[in-house]
Chain A
Amino acid sequence: MKRLDHAEAASRFIASTAHEAFHDQRLWDLRQKRDREAHHIPEWEALRELASRIKEHTLSNLAGYLEAFERNATANGVKVHWARDAAEHNQIVHDILSERSAKTLVKSKSMLTEECDMRPFLEARGIEVIETDLGERIQQLDDEPPSHIVVPAVHKLRGDVSEVFARTLGTEPGNEDVHYLAESQRRTTRPYFLAAEAGMTGANFAVAETGAFVVCTNEGNADLSANLPKLHIASIGIEKLIPRTEHLGVFIRLLSRSALGSPITQYTSHFRSPREGAEMHIVLVDHGRSARLGMADFWPALKCIRCGACMNTCPVYRRSGGLSYGATYSGPIGVIIDPTFDIRKYSNLPFASTLNGSCTSVCPVKINIHEQIYKWRRVMSEKRQLPLVKKATMKAAGQVFGSPRLYRAAISATGMAIEGLPRFAIYNWFNKWGRQREVPDAPEATFRAWYLKNRGGR
């Protein structure tokens, strides 16, 4: 697979200053709302620590918990399926639908089905798939993937949505009223809820003790998708397991506060058993997760509860847009997950970071995100996945920083050199850093020269 050029893709997003400015401000607003909620709760840090350890415990005993979950869900009258990869997942879902002659599937947002690229697979086989979350529906109608795991269309402005809806839903061209646009989606989606033969959700948590799974949403679309059709299919990644119902107290308190800065999602829905006269199927999906579990440096990424807090706080994500990552998962969490799917394609992503560590500080399950980003850079370098310019620059820098004598010579030369150089010599194609920045003025003397002069005698 061709290597993704994140910087190039980001530059296309930044080209529209209105979009970039709004995106940056909107996500920073979510980060601030998250802070306000977190600061209200004296035990916030204790909850993060608990969440981290409960997840680590579960992942270190995952096989046993998966078996318990399967046993309990089966006893509840749910049919449990297992899928090693995306292809098997999509096939299982299609088989369930076609055996029941289901032609229409209403679904709520699921990053896992995005990961599996399920929609085109089903559509090619004659099944109409309707995304029912507003943001996800906008993205479906515009034939784009979601750009954020919680707010899928956050990179669009109301004018963009108006244009998409006018083209696809027949709304009034030029009407950019947000209430009108949202109401239009509600009105046009309702008939699908009433007529669809099948509904689908993902899951935020799966409880081993009861065989239940939990879906956290705000719009009511997941509950409509699950409670109207006679068939409910839930796709669940194997890392979503937690041991007991009481542990939900910890995770639900953290999830929406971290994601949107609200105390809880409007709907926290628990599905344990099919309702009278209906069917429920669960597809447990691996798709690379079991392999990731064996990666000494990277398995803690499996603790992720998909809140998006790391994305909202990341200065690179906020100013480059989620689509520039070219993957299902963007932002800091994407940077450390995506290379496990395709190391060459995503070899540039670990460099889409300033390593400021803000992502790690806000992560509700304490994933060491920025440390993993750094470790992925090492992996890319060892696996020779660095582009030529970066490799040559880094090699030269390594030699200079590794030798005090070379370093001093270079530093004293730099001060003189920058002053004398014409702009084109500094801000050229090799200096990617200088594209959006000015090189600072060099100080009159280096620290070492100052030290030798002022303290050297003592």
Chain B
Amino acid sequence: MTTSRDIILNAVRANAPAAVALPHVSSFDEGLPPAAERFRHSLELLGGQFVECPPGTDPDRRIGELFPDARVICSNVPEVSGTRPLRAVRAAAELEDVDVAVVRAAFAVAETGSIFLSEAELGLNALGYLAQHLVALLDPADILGNLHHAYRHPAFATARYAVLMSGPSATADIEGVLIRGAQGVRSLKVLPIPRRG
């Protein structure tokens, strides 16, 4: 029996246009601006906030100051204890009442103000979306210049799920009025905290 798969592949083969060579993609990275400054600028353009942290900042305390009214702070990083460690959460739906989620970005992209998060950084993928607010720690040494560099990062080949997150969720679907906090987090704050050790 001929399957739909075979019918489609045969038709695609029969109708293929003349072969076109695959071009080489360069990195377009000459004269890129300083990564940390550019990242901050791009992040803020997309509605994220870059929170200054002088050396020696205690991230746990800093988050407490940023969110004085938060009842549930769910952390997946060793630097922040929060009120509910992620390892205590069994099912994603239990994250519904989380006010602030805390993660560490694997790396960031200066050009677009994006942070990279996969299941390794999120613990439960839904953590990055069900929480009302998201805080991401980022080692300034982990900022890449542009998307060409980002897409050569090996994590894209190994992560089951990976997101380049650029600011909080947003919509402009009604008359172009920009709303930050569409369906996912209402705010995204990035704290420049180097990795331990």
A and B from one complex: yes
Chain A interface residues toward B at CB < 8 A: 22, 26, 29, 43, 46-47, 49-50, 53-54, 56-57, 59-63, 66-67, 70, 76, 82-84, 88, 132-135, 138, 151-154, 156-158, 161, 178-179, 181-182, 186, 189-190, 193-194, 210, 212, 218-221, 223-224, 227-228, 238, 243, 245-250, 252-253, 260, 262-275, 284, 286, 290-291, 293-294, 299
With a CB–CB cut-off of 8 A, which chain B residues contact A181?
174
In the docked arrangement, what's the CA distance between A194 and B128, Å?
A: 15
A264 touches B166 (CB 8 A): yes
Q: Which of B57-65, B180-188, B189-197 contacts A (4 or more CB under 8 A)?
A: B180-188
Q: Which of B1-23 contact A (CB under 8 A)?
A: 3-5, 7-9, 11-23
A228 neighbours in B (Cβ, 8 Å): 92-93, 126, 130
Interface residues of B in 158-182 (CB under 8 A from A): 159-177, 179, 181-182
Q: B23 to A227, Cβ gap below 8 A?
A: no
Which residues of B approach A to under 8 Å, CB–CB? Answer: 3-5, 7-9, 11-23, 25, 28, 42, 45-47, 92-93, 96, 111-114, 119, 125-126, 128-130, 146-148, 150-152, 156-157, 159-177, 179, 181-185
Q: Provide the residues of chain A in CB contact with B45, threshold 8 Å.
A: 262-263
Residues of A within 8 A of B168 (CB): 266
Residues of A within 8 Å of B171, CB to CB, are 134-135, 182, 218-219
Cβ of B156 and Cβ of A212 under 8 Å apart? Answer: yes
Contact A29 B175 (CB under 8 A): no
Instruction: Give the nearest-CB partner of A76 in chain B.
Output: B160
Q: Which residue of the partner chain A has the closest CB to B114?
A: A264
The smallest beta-carbon distance between A81 and chain B, in angstroms, is: 8
In the complex, besides A219-B183, A246-B25, 11 extra interface pairs with C-beta distance below 8 angstroms are A132-B183, A212-B156, A218-B182, A221-B182, A228-B126, A245-B151, A247-B25, A248-B151, A268-B114, A271-B160, A272-B159
Instruction: Give the docked Cα–Cα distance between A224 and B47 (Å).
Output: 20
Q: Decide: A264 near B46, CB < 8 A? Known: A220-B182, A246-B25.
A: yes
A246 surroundings in chain B (CB, below 8 A): 25, 148, 151-152
> Inside 8 A of B125's CB, which chain A residues have their CB?
223, 227, 275
Given contacts A59-B17, A221-B182, contact A267 B7 (CB under 8 A): no
**Chain A nearest CB, measured from B192 CB (Å):** 20
Q: Provide the residues of chain B in CB contact with A223, threshold 8 Å.
A: 125, 128-129, 163, 184
Chain A to chain B contacts (Cβ below 8 Å), 28 pairs: A50-B25, A53-B23, A54-B22, A54-B25, A57-B22, A61-B19, A66-B9, A84-B7, A133-B173, A135-B174, A179-B179, A182-B173, A182-B174, A194-B96, A219-B169, A221-B183, A224-B130, A224-B184, A227-B129, A228-B93, A243-B22, A249-B25, A263-B45, A266-B168, A266-B170, A272-B159, A284-B8, A294-B15
Contact B92 A210 (CB under 8 A): no
Evaluate contact between B173 and A54: CB separation under 8 angstroms. no
Q: How far is the CA of A291 from the CA of B11 in the complex (A)?
A: 7
Partner of B161 from A61, A161, A270 at Cβ < 8 Å: A270
User: Using Cβ atoms and an 8 Å threshold, which residues of chain B touch A59?
Assistant: 16-17
Query: Which residues of chain A come closer than 8 Å to B7, judged between CB atoms?
Result: 84
Cβ-defined partner of B179 (8 Å) among A22, A50, A182: A182
Instruction: Determine the distance from Cα of A263 to Cα of B114 in the docked complex, in whole angstroms.
Output: 10
A224 CB contacts on chain B under 8 angstroms: 126, 129-130, 183-184
Q: Which residues of chain B are near A271, meaning CB under 8 Å?
A: 160-161
B164 A291 Cβ-Cβ under 8 A: no
Q: Are B5 and A82 in contact (CB under 8 A)?
A: yes
Q: How far is the CA of A248 from the CA of B171 in the complex (A)?
A: 24
Contact B169 A220 (CB under 8 A): yes
